Chains A and B, each alone.
Chain A
């Protein structure tokens, strides 16, 4: 059984690369049973959104090349 600490590792990883099928399944299973981790998952996503707002408010993908 995956514990919270390991689940947070996958939640973090999810922000940086797509999870494998296996990883997705274990994370989803854990989240379905653990409300604290569901909050943590939301918070990591919120940090990701906050980071985007901190810089230019527009989509960085559409930046003109500033060099």
Chain B
């Protein structure tokens, strides 16, 4: 098999992961698929420029990141985003704590076991996926940029035009929602 064909095969194999990665950021399946399509085209066109310093898949993810950021800018420009400062009240967060600031008995975090073991199971990722989709759009976008794409909060603020403090508040809420959701989905099934 030629190198080109081999890379084409690897592209096809990694495509589902590229789509879910893009979907987490863009919150729209057809836009996510478009971004992946463009990234794949671009990877094929620029095949020669792959330097081989990192894995081929990593390189493709790198291309996809730029396509996602472009698509996010377009979404924002077209007014498809709720204002980031006005993310709806944090009822879901308040329900996790008592008035005093202590955990509600029903929301107290319990152990998820060994992280490595969790990461190995298909079920953990199904729950993670479902919980990401359940997040409010803006929380999911900021969380994805920070934790999936690995941008600094400083870069996210520049990208989204928000204050860093705002970014931290959004991330705090996103993490609390995610952990509650994952714990429910993960532990329930584990013990079932």
Task: For B66, give its contact among A5, A40, A43, A67 (CB under 8 Å).
Answer: A67
Q: Is B89 an interface residue (CB 8 A)?
A: no
Task: For A53, give its contact among B61, B112, B119, B143 (CB under 8 Å).
Answer: B119
- For B60, the closest partner residue in chain A by CB is A66
B112-152 contacts to A (CB < 8 Å): 112, 115, 118-119, 128, 143-144, 146-150, 152
Chain A nearest Cβ from B3, distance in angstroms: 17
In this complex, the interface size class of chain A, counting residues with CB under 8 Å from chain B, is: 35 or more
Residues B103 and A4 in contact, CB atoms below 8 Å apart = yes
Residues A9 and B172 in contact, CB atoms below 8 Å apart = yes
Residues A52 and B24 in contact, CB atoms below 8 Å apart = no
Residues A49 and B58 in contact, CB atoms below 8 Å apart = no
Chain B nearest Cβ from A25, distance in angstroms: 18
Q: Which residue numbers of A lie inside 8 Å of B, CB to CB?
A: 3-6, 8-9, 12-13, 15-17, 36-37, 39-40, 42-44, 46-58, 60-67
Interchain CA distance A2-B150 in the complex, whole Å: 30
Interchain CA distance A50-B144 in the complex, whole Å: 11
Q: Which residue numbers of B lie inside 8 Å of A, CB to CB?
A: 20-21, 24, 50-51, 53-55, 57-66, 97, 100-103, 108-112, 115, 118-119, 128, 143-144, 146-150, 152-153, 167-168, 171-172, 175-176, 178-179, 182-183
- For A62, the closest partner residue in chain B by CB is B54
* Contact of A51 with B148 at beta-carbon distance under 8 Å, contacts A4-B102, A42-B112 already known: yes
Interchain CA distance A9-B174 in the complex, whole Å: 11
Residues B50 and A64 in contact, CB atoms below 8 Å apart = yes
Interchain CA distance A64-B52 in the complex, whole Å: 8
Residues B53 and A62 in contact, CB atoms below 8 Å apart = yes
Contacts of A3 in B (CB 8 A): 97, 100-102
Task: For A5, give its contact among B62, B101, B171, B178 (CB under 8 Å).
Answer: B101
Interchain CA distance A14-B156 in the complex, whole Å: 16
Residues B115 and A55 in contact, CB atoms below 8 Å apart = no
- For A61, the closest partner residue in chain B by CB is B150
Contacts of A9 in B (CB 8 A): 172
Interchain CA distance A50-B97 in the complex, whole Å: 25
